[in-house]
């Protein structure tokens, strides 16, 4: 067993930003464990642009954004174990990992979980029909095309209008494939508006809302799909069924935080975010174990992942230094129109402002968010529009927070 | 020229090959798919049935009763994973259902089954807290178990091959001709295998094979059964296999743990037009969820990781058909092997060998028969200390390829190299569980493809999901 002050599980954008922030806060004995052969996580396959506008003030590709943080990690001499897969984390912060040299056991002063997320699979979507080759999650196709250099198909139907699905519609078109349609089971797209314009409209790819794949056809390779509209209960309307010939189905139907290690460590999970329950430092309910990035909540932009990871990195550093927050906490709750609020609990005597992050339940026009504790209004914010695909952030001032004794509820009213 | 050609590399053909490999015989196993265990064998409930169900006096009753212990014994030898978890057959409060539970108990006694007991609903819930409050009476079958049917078959065929049996995949039999010394079995590809004896273990295609020699005395009725497999998070929902008494809605939607720690629910039972009708349907999956919830209301179907359908080879008389061909000499049909076929597979193989002897086959034991197949999962069963030592000697076991099921590069390379070799992505999945977990291969598939390409010295574009035209890539960018 070896020891390190901070062990970061995952070397994607979250893990790297957390490690750098912890180092800069004075805890220099930080290591990163990553299962792949280089750091960067999923950014390595995201060769499109649009990364870094908020955080770095310039527009980068995914690999370029990752490289900014890789350079920061290197500059500080933070040790990165590559091709090293963590297989267990215990509540007393023993991290077990495996690589080609053997089994590694590290006793950590603090642990930062930054394992990212995975895509919802065909099986989890319960799509009927046959089980041929040619059904990929969008990210798998993206990896095969962008990292391995192989094309996966010629005629494509994409289910799910999340950002990866939209980006892949454009990517497949670039490489000469015909994207027949992008289908979205909800009555609205979960993707960023800019992606709908730049990836579908610019390429004349139709987006069918309230529509899904009812059946997949083909014995060996996909030969086509039956698509259909759905009603308000997301049940297929039989009379709208129609067949589209294709050889490829890409699925972009949501991301699931990869919290298997978290669960096995006995860390409580929020059923809505599918990530750990955390405080404002991103500390989980198990002392000294922090979480950030897409393993905590699925983000829209990597820029916000980096922000969140810095909070977790600083929190881990404070924990190691023994200066973490103490005192009273109150829970946060999602009120009307709000699906979840993160962090799920807040120290009221922290002595600093706290930003609350949330998603709304459905698309709205102009809304006012109100943050209340009991009858006291802690903050309000007006937005011209709000959509589930775009995370909201509201800052609660230190002095307001200090007076909060009842749970903090965030709700919205349509203006 | 082989002594015996077996048509069909499912659990029956595979176990027969394994049991025959102990004798001084040359045996060839013919399989139409790119891998073995590809029909009903890979898509069934994986249950070792206690033996209370078959009508007394049938072949099913006899071979099920004999088969349970034989299966456990062979599974031990060839390291096929199984667990004696016991099963419950539940009645839900009606007098008819409770009478059925008692009748099954009595029938089990007639069939010579030991370890049967009747439990009240409360006694059953004490053993199985997730059981529905509506369960009123239960037949507890203590000798029942669960087994991974395709791993059992892979292990049997691997052991058979290690003992000299030849396996030919992608050998879709299109004709069987008489020769002077026996038979010529001819494939669609034109390939030809000659053998003195032929055994028809073609599952849902067995009547078509029989027709090739002029036998039409049985007709396979393909019956599809749809299943949903749930994440390991749900795997501990129940520890026993939970059946319902047969009802108007069909018999036997079960809720069961699997040997790998998942939760399995299903099957439906729907007559289909052809043996390859393995589509899942919205109605089928809905039925599975509804009936499973009747036994175990707390099953969380948001945790489904995959659904599938298997086609069972039923026949109108409702019993196994294990008898010599009527139109030719030297051929044996082992047909209509639906439930409890998996449970009975070793007993069926032994019974088939008896019949082959009666048909003139000489069986002389080999001196060097090795009944043991090495445990393919020895690595994953090691302690951390043992793994550490093993990885230091074999670094490929330290590189995890499948994160969901913790499968290493070393284990995948083994699966591609050892008998019967994995040739495609699904073949690797069944042998190693790489891609079998919650992400369903989303992350590991490109890596697995690279290992298959490398081990076989072929280009990535040539790697398939499951043979033939199931290509994954259309070319380089």
Residues A36-92 have pLDDT tens digits of 999 999 999 999 999 999 999 999 999 999 999 999 999 999 999 999 999 999 999
Q: How many structural domains are present in chain A?
A: 3
Residue A15 has pLDDT above 90, yes or no: yes
Set of chain A residues whose Cβ sits within 8 Å of the Cβ of B276 = 219
**Which residue carries 């590991």 as its tokens?**
B444
Report how far residue B260's alpha carbon sits from residue B433's, in angstroms, rounded to the nearest whole number: 9
- Regarding whether A192 and A142 lie in a shared domain, the answer is yes
- Regarding whether A164 and A102 lie in a shared domain, the answer is no
Residue A389, both tokens: 């695909």
Q: Which residue has the higher pLDDT, B261 or B252?
A: B261
- Regarding whether A302 and A226 lie in a shared domain, the answer is no
Q: Smallest Cα–Cα separation from B47: which of B17, B67, B61, B21?
A: B67
SS3 B76: helix
DSSP sequence for A285-316: SSTTEEE-GGGTS--S-HHHHHHHHHHHHHHH
Is A74 in contact with A40 (CB distance < 8 Å)?
A: no
Is B50 in contact with B383 (CB distance < 8 Å)?
A: no
- Regarding whether A342 and A248 lie in a shared domain, the answer is no
Give A100-133 as a 3 state SS string: CCEEEEEEEEEEEECCCEEECCHHHHCCEECCCE
CATH number of B1-81+146-220+315-375: 3.50.50.60
All CATH 3.50.50.60 domain ranges of chain B, comma separated, are 1-81+146-220+315-375
Q: Smallest Cα–Cα separation from B334: which of B316, B352, B350, B347?
A: B352
DSSP sequence for B182-247: SEEEEETTS-EEEEEEEEE--GGGHHHHHHHTT--S---EEEEEEEEEE-GGGTTS-SSEEEE--B
Report how far residue B143's alpha carbon sits from residue A123's, in angstroms, rounded to the nearest whole number: 32
A-B contacts at Cβ under 8 angstroms: 144
Q: What is the DSSP letter of A34?
A: -
Q: What is the DSSP letter of B267?
A: -
- Regarding whether A94 and A209 lie in a shared domain, the answer is no
CATH number of B87-142+221-313: 3.30.9.10
All CATH 1.10.10 domain ranges of chain B, comma separated, are 384-462
Tell me, what's the pLDDT at B392?
98
Q: By CA distance, what is B444's nearest residue in A?
A: A140
State pLDDT tens for residues A283-307. Answer: 999 999 999 999 999 999 999 999 9
Is B15 in contact with B345 (CB distance < 8 Å)?
A: yes
CATH architecture of B384-462: Orthogonal Bundle (1.10)
Set of chain B residues whose Cβ sits within 8 Å of the Cβ of A132 = 465, 470
Catalogue the active-site residues of B. 49
State pLDDT tens for residues B385-418. Answer: 999 999 999 999 999 999 999 999 999 999 999 9
- Regarding whether A270 and A202 lie in a shared domain, the answer is no
- Regarding whether A409 and A373 lie in a shared domain, the answer is yes
- Regarding whether A379 and A319 lie in a shared domain, the answer is no
User: The complex's ipTM?
Assistant: 0.94
Of A105, A133, A151, the CB nearest to B475: A151
Which residues lie below 8 Å from residue A259, measured CB to CB, with a gap of 6+?
A: A115, A267, A269, A274, A275, A276, A295
- Regarding whether A247 and A134 lie in a shared domain, the answer is yes
- Regarding whether A148 and A113 lie in a shared domain, the answer is no
pLDDT band at A349 (very low <50, low <70, confident <90, very high): confident
Is B163 in contact with B22 (CB distance < 8 Å)?
A: yes
Q: What is the CATH number of the domain that holds A27?
A: 3.50.50.60
Q: From residue B378, how far is each of A104, A276, B16, B397 by CA, in Å?
A: 20, 34, 26, 12
Where among A288, A304, A324 does a domain terminate? A324
Q: What is the DSSP letter of B22?
A: T
Q: Beta partners for B120?
A: B137
Q: Which residue has the higher pLDDT, B141 or A327?
A: B141
Which domain, by its residues, includes A35? Answer: 1-119+255-324
DSSP sequence for A130-196: ---B-EEEHHHHHHIIIII-EE--SEEEEE--SHHHHHHHHHHHHTT-EEEEEEESSSS--S-HHHI
Of A118, A126, A214, the CB nearest to B285: A126
Report how far residue B370's alpha carbon sits from residue B419's, in angstroms, rounded to the nearest whole number: 14
Which residues lie below 8 Å from residue B420, measured CB to CB, with a gap of 6+?
A: B35, B36, B154, B157, B158, B161, B167
| A87 interfacial to chain B (CB closer than 8 Å) | yes
Set of chain B residues whose Cβ sits within 8 Å of the Cβ of A150 = 460-461, 473-477
Is B15 in contact with B227 (CB distance < 8 Å)?
A: no
Set of chain B residues whose Cβ sits within 8 Å of the Cβ of A263 = 233
Residue B45, both tokens: 């409930």
Where among A205, A232, A253 does a domain terminate? A253
CA dihedral over B434, B439, B445, B446, signed as positive or negative = negative
State pLDDT tens for residues B13-64. Answer: 999 999 999 999 999 999 999 999 999 999 999 999 999 999 999 999 999 9
Of A100, A126, A128, the CB nearest to B391: A100
Where among A253, A278, A304 does a domain terminate? A253
Q: By CA distance, what is A120's nearest residue in B?
A: B439
**Dihedral of the alpha carbons of B301, B305, B311, B317, in degrees to the nearest 10:** -40
Rounded to a whole number of angstroms, the distance from the CA of A152 to the nearest CA of chain B is 4
Rounded to a whole number of angstroms, the distance from the CA of A389 to the nearest CA of chain B is 22
């Amino acid at each position: 067993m070896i020891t390190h002050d901070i062990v970061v599980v995952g070397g994607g954008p979250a893990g790297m930003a957390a490690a750098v922030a912890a180092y800069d806060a004075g805890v220099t004995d930080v290591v990163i464990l990553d299962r792949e052969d280089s750091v960067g996580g999923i950014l390595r396959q995201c060769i499109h642009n649009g990364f870094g506008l908020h955080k770095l003030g310039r527009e980068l590709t995914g690999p370029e954004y990752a490289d900014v943080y890789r350079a920061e990690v290197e500059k500080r001499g933070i040790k990165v174990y590559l091709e090293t897969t963590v297989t267990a984390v215990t509540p007393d912060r023993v991290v077990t990992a495996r690589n080609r040299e053997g089994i590694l056991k590290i006793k950590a002063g603090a642990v930062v979980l930054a394992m990212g997320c995975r895509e919802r699979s065909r099986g989890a979507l319960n799509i009927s029909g046959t089980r041929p080759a040619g059904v990929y999650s969008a990210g798998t196709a993206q990896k095969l095309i962008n990292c391995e250099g192989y094309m996966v198909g010629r005629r494509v139907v994409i289910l799910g209008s999340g950002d990866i699905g939209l980006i892949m519609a454009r990517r497949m078109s670039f490489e000469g494939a015909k994207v027949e349609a992008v289908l979205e089971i909800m009555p609205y797209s979960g993707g960023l508006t800019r992606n709908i314009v730049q990836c579908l409209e610019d390429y004349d790819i139709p987006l069918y809302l309230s529509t899904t794949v009812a059946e997949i056809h083909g014995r060996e390779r996909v030969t086509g799909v039956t698509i259909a509209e759905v009603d308000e209960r997301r049940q297929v309307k039989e009379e709208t069924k129609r067949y589209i010939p294709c050889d490829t189905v890409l699925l972009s139907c949501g991301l699931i935080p990869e919290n298997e290690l978290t669960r096995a460590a006995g860390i409580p999970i929020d059923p809505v975010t599918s990530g750990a329950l955390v405080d404002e430092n991103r500390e989980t309910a198990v002392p000294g174990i922090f979480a950030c990035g897409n393993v905590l909540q699925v983000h829209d932009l990597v820029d916000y992942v980096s922000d969140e990871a810095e909070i977790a990195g600083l929190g881990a550093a404070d924990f190691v230094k023994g200066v973490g927050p103490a005192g009273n906490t109150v829970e946060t709750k999602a009120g009307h129109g709000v699906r979840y609020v993160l962090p799920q609990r807040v120290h009221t005597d922290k002595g600093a402002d706290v930003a609350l992050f949330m998603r709304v339940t459905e698309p709205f026009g102009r809304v006012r968010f109100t943050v209340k504790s009991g009858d006291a209004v802690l903050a309000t914010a007006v937005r011209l529009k709000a959509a589930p695909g775009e995370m909201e952030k509201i800052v609660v001032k230190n002095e307001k927070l200090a007076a909060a004794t009842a749970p903090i509820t965030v709700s919205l009213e349509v203006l | 020229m082989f002594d015996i050609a077996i048509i069909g590399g499912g659990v029956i053909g595979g176990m027969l090959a394994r049991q025959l490999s102990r004798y001084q015989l040359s045996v060839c196993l013919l399989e139409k798919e790119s891998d073995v265990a590809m029909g009903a064998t890979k898509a069934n409930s994986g249950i070792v049935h206690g033996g209370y169900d078959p009508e007394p006096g049938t072949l099913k009753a006899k071979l099920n009763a004999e088969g349970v212990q034989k299966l456990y014994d062979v599974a031990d030898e060839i390291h096929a994973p199984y667990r004696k978890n016991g099963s419950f057959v539940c009645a839900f409060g009606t007098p008819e259902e409770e009478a059925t539970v008692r009748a099954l108990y009595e029938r089990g006694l007639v069939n010579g089954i030991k370890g049967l007991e009747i439990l009240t609903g409360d006694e059953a819930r004490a053993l199985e807290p997730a059981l529905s409050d509506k369960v009123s009476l239960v037949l507890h079958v203590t000798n029942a178990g669960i087994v991974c049917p395709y791993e059992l078959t892979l292990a049997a065929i691997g052991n058979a091959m290690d003992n000299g049996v030849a396996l030919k995949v992608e050998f879709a039999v299109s004709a069987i001709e008489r020769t002077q010394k026996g038979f010529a079995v001819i494939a669609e590809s034109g390939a030809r295998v000659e053998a003195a004896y032929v055994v028809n273990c073609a599952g849902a295609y067995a009547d078509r094979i029989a027709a090739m020699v002029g036998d039409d005395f049985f007709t396979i009725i393909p019956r599809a059964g749809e299943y949903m497999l749930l994440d390991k998070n749900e795997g501990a929902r129940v520890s026993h296999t939970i059946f319902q008494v047969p009802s108007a809605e069909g018999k036997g939607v079960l809720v069961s743990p699997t040997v790998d720690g998942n939760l399995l629910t299903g099957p439906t039972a729907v007559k289909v037009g052809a043996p390859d009708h393995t589509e899942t349907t919205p109605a089928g999956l809905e039925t599975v969820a509804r009936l499973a919830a009747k036994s175990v209301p707390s099953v969380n179907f948001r945790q489904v990781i995959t659904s599938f359908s298997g086609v069972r080879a039923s026949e109108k008389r409702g019993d196994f058909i294990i008898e010599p061909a009527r139109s030719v000499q030297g051929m044996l049909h082992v047909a209509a092997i639906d439930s409890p076929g998996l449970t009975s597979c070793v007993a069926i193989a032994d019974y088939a060998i008896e019949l082959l002897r009666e048909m003139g086959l000489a069986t002389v034991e080999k001196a060097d028969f090795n009944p043991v197949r090495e445990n393919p999962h020895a690595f994953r069963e090691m302690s951390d200390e043992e793994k550490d030592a093993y990885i230091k000697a074999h670094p490929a076991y330290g590189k995890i390829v499948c994160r969901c099921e913790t499968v290493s590069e070393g284990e995948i390379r083994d699966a591609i190299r050892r008998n019967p070799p994995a040739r495609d992505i699904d073949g690797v999945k069944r042998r190693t569980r790489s891609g079998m977990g919650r992400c369903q291969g989303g992350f590991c598939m490109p890596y697995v493809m690279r290992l298959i390409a490398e081990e076989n010295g072929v280009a990535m574009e040539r790697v398939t999901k499951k043979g033939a035209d199931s290509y994954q890539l259309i070319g380089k960018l």
